[in-house]
Structure 1
Amino acid sequence: MVCVNEDVIKSVMKDEYGKTVVNITPLDGYIDANFKIDIVDGISDGHSGYESVILKISSGSTDSIILQHSIMTYLDVNGITTCTPVKTTSGSTYCTENFHEDTNNDSEEQVCTVLSYLPGITLRSAGNPIYLMEDLGGFAGRVDKLLQTFEQEDIQPSETIWELTGTPKLKPLIEKYCDNDIKELAENIIKAFENKILPVITSFQKGYIHGDFNDCNFIVLQTLTKVDKYTISGLIDYGDACVSFYVYEIATLMADMMAVCQGKQNPFEVGKLILRGYRKEFELNSVELDNLRLIICIRMIQYYVLGAEILEKDPSNEYAGLDRDEYISLCKYLWDIDDERFRLELVENLN
């Protein structure tokens, strides 16, 4: 990971965006470096007199950045509240800058983007209240319904291991990072993907997806009537946007919320509410529903082993270690039940 100091941030904002930085607050990030920045000469937020924006520093390709920005803008104009790119003084939605590595004096070119700031807090910070789960699923379904008609002809989406067809690429990571029963579980899930998913994968609905539905990427606002009640208000972080399958998208959301709500909510109840909300906006076909349990398990194994890889490179990355134990615990449980019970609990018993 690159080393980003405040002087470099101030220089980028001044030279590329014509703004003066007042405050810099580091934010969590899986791979990218993220900062909330207060700048002057912008639109006042009504309290501090500053404009708040998000600075993202990424090693991704410029094509990937352009795709993310195009999706954000498309969703925003179609009624989904999200971050939108802020242009540089030259009219571009990104710039490049050389940053030094943490461990040596070598420099690496990174892509810098500034995005509008969404007011509110994350769903996780609000405590993942159960009363929001169906609305959460509905919001996700509306996003995917819109993305079905999104087109980006000039850019070929880059391949990512954070995607359903990338499942076999997990094999060497499973060998390296998993031991004993977790290794056996992961290997069995990979085999099930090859034997059960691949033969029917052409039946899955496919298109652009957000790629990282989780409780840290949905923004909520307090209701006007009750300060302890929230509504889903927006969606952030499009770094994993790609072309993939919509059943994988909803599986990603269900995997995360069912795992993180363990201990205070019944995971099946959480999953059922999310799926109910999603299907009101985006209908899944019978083949997708038949394979939903397995795809949730695949996502959980992805999260576990890819998180281990990132933590090996950067042990201080607390964000990469979030809920890994909860993910693998629920994965074991879901793997041990059969599809019939899963369908009965989550798919057929939606009323």
Structure 2
Amino acid sequence: MSEDNDMLQNAGETIKPFVPMKHLPHLVYSLYGLTMESCKEMDSYDDRNYHVIVKGHSENPYINHTLPDGYVLKILNKMQSKNPIFVEAVHALMEHIAKKGVSIPKIMKNLKGETMSLEKIYHSENIQDSTPYHFYLVRLLTYVPGVTFFEKPTLPRSLYNIGKSLGKLHHSLEGFHHRFFDNYKFMWNLTEVERLRDFLVGIQDEKRKALMIEIIDAFTKEVVPKYDKLTKGMIHGDLNESNIIVQDCPVQDSVPQESRVCDVAAIIDFNDVALSYLVFDVAICIAYMSIKCHEMDQKDVGGHVLAGYLSERSLNSTERDVMKACVCARIAQSLVMGAYSYYMDPNNTYVLNTAARGWPLISMLWEIPKSDIDARWNKIIEEYE
């Protein structure tokens, strides 16, 4: 297994695992000593994630009692499966922030006492000598019960609470270091925006393709030269509405469900963590919350997220200055890679989830002068203060 820290996807390459559902019960039992009762695949861009409910007792000495809420079986994509040190580094990071009191999934050990294993998985239900296969890294984590923010209304105070939780997460990440991340290159890190040019083949509309090129050019010109002025640190890298488990804030019994403010109960999915720039994490969060938003003006989302984040941590003038470019770059990144993934695998319709609202949003945001967006967000921040 390679220990190369470069896990950048190449154009023309499909990296999502092929895993017939028929193989999963044997995989769960042979690796973890658990008998699968039910299994539901969860949405994912590049990996395979399954919510697994088990029955009976555990035959695993490292799992004393089975959990009624079940587990998440994670089968990593082809790129990340090449490097077990990546998973070791992610596990170390998760243990670090768990000790700081952040609520996250717990990593389970397999029958051999290991937190992961490289498994030969056949790409067909009927295994013959000629059946294609690949080796993928397999992990098991506890399933965090609850509702994701995807299922909740996008309200100003909820966005504030999410921004605040991101600030707390960044505090918890302070002091963490793993040598793997020092030279780690990952396609979804905003530092790789320039590489999006290689994946534009998935966008058929020439006007949309031209817009993506314009945003890539702007990021390369306006943000990249300022890296030395941005605060470096470990980031989550994918704080979207499906990776945030929420709960209603207390004392809202008389408030209608669609008007209830929620707070963050847990953060999940740390597969996109990287040593990068903290402002990127804030921009990524704003990008996804803006795409999700139906209930209020999408242009205001950034102000509420920023207000919450700034209640915990500060951003310097350069970080505030590049925020809009970073938000738009992340939306562009999601649109380009989603279109490319669908172009390579039309069955992977999950990757199109961003497109329906993402294209109108990016077109609208990009046309608004940065000064107008900054003024709008600053006014919201001042109102909280």
TM-score > 0.5 by shorter chain: yes
1:121 aligns to what?
147
1:36 has 2:67 as partner: no
Higher mean displacement: 145-154 or 90-99: 145-154
Q: Shift of the alpha carbon at 1:51?
A: 5.5
Distance 2:183 2:143 in 1: 26
* Correspondence list, 1:3-14, <5 A: 3-14=18-29
Distance 1:155 1:341 in 2: 37
1:347 has 2:384 as partner: no
Distance 1:349 1:22 in 2: 49
Which SS does the other structure have where 1:2 is aligned? coil
2:36 aligns to what?
21
1:327 aligns to what?
358
Unaligned runs of 5+ in 1: none
2:223 aligns to what?
197
2:90 aligns to what?
68
1:85 has 2:107 as partner: yes
Q: Shift of the alpha carbon at 1:14?
A: 2.0
1:232 has 2:264 as partner: yes
Which SS does the other structure have where 1:35 is aligned? strand
Given that 2:118 and 2:138 are in contact with CA atoms closer than 8 Å, whether structure 1 keeps it comes out as yes
2:299 maps to which of 245, 265, 268: 268
Count of residues in Structure 1 that have an aligned counterpart in Structure 2:
346
Q: Shift of the alpha carbon at 1:195?
A: 1.8
Higher mean displacement: 143-152 or 289-298: 143-152
Distance 2:21 2:198 in 1: 38
Higher mean displacement: 125-134 or 270-279: 125-134
1:257 has 2:289 as partner: yes
Distance 2:33 2:176 in 1: 32
Q: Shift of the alpha carbon at 1:318?
A: 3.0
Given that 1:157 and 1:242 are in contact with CA atoms closer than 8 Å, whether structure 2 keeps it comes out as no
- In structure 1, what residue type is equivalent to 2:247? L
1:98 aligns to what?
120
Which SS does the other structure have where 1:36 is aligned? strand
1:133 maps to which of 159, 165, 172: 159
Point out 4+ residue stretches in structure 1 off by more than 4 angstroms. 154-157, 222-227
- In structure 2, what residue type is equivalent to 1:17? Y
1:54 aligns to what?
72
Q: Shift of the alpha carbon at 1:119?
A: 1.2
1:187 maps to which of 191, 213, 229: 213
Distance 2:124 2:297 in 1: 42
2:345 maps to which of 305, 311, 314: 314
Given that 1:289 and 1:347 are in contact with CA atoms closer than 8 Å, whether structure 2 keeps it comes out as no
Higher mean displacement: 335-344 or 105-114: 335-344
Unaligned runs of 5+ in 2: 1-15, 58-63
- TM-score of the aligned structures, taking structure 2 as reference length: 0.84
Q: Shift of the alpha carbon at 1:91?
A: 1.6
- In structure 1, what residue type is equivalent to 2:102? I
Distance 2:213 2:171 in 1: 33
1:283 maps to which of 314, 321, 334: 314
Q: Shift of the alpha carbon at 1:317?
A: 2.2
Higher mean displacement: 1-10 or 54-63: 1-10
* Correspondence list, 1:204-243, <5 A: 204-222=230-248, 226=252, 228=257, 229=260, 230-243=262-275
Which deviations, in whole Å up to 9, do the C-alpha atoms of 1:148-178 show, x marking residues without a partner?
3211136655311211220110112225525
Distance 2:225 2:182 in 1: 25
* Correspondence list, 1:141-180, <5 A: 141-153=167-179, 156=182, 158-174=184-200, 176-180=202-206
Given that 2:153 and 2:295 are in contact with CA atoms closer than 8 Å, whether structure 1 keeps it comes out as no
1:248 aligns to what?
280
Q: Shift of the alpha carbon at 1:281?
A: 1.4
Q: Shift of the alpha carbon at 1:92?
A: 1.0
Q: Shift of the alpha carbon at 1:93?
A: 0.6
Given that 1:206 and 1:245 are in contact with CA atoms closer than 8 Å, whether structure 2 keeps it comes out as yes
Distance 2:267 2:48 in 1: 18
Sequence identity, in percent? 24
- In structure 1, what residue type is equivalent to 2:24? I
